[in-house]
């Protein structure tokens, strides 16, 4: 099982693909947009996963172990820069 951290996740495009392929487990995700957060949580079972609203708040010492970091770059919001 490949452990994935989904950064700049939007509504979960990467996650959706990984779930269809199989063999991947999302251990954490980040999304600053509150509407995208609600959509992501409605689409996926995020229980037990680390969640960060702002990537600047991530403490790498406490970050869940992962094998693959994916991200939906670039962020289209002005607040990301």
Query: Catalytic site residues?
Result: 75
C-alpha to C-alpha distances, 55 to 1, 23, 28, 47, 51, nearest whole angstrom: 25, 26, 12, 19, 10
């Amino acid at each position: 099982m490949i452990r994935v951290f989904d950064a700049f996740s939007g509504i979960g495009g990467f996650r959706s693909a990984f779930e269809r392929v199989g063999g991947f487990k999302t251990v954490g995700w980040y999304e600053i947009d509150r509407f995208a957060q609600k959509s992501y949580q409605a689409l996926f079972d995020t229980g037990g996963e680390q969640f960060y609203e702002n990537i600047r708040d991530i403490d790498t010492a406490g970050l869940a172990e992962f094998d693959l970091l994916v991200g939906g770059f670039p962020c289209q919001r002005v607040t990301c820069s």
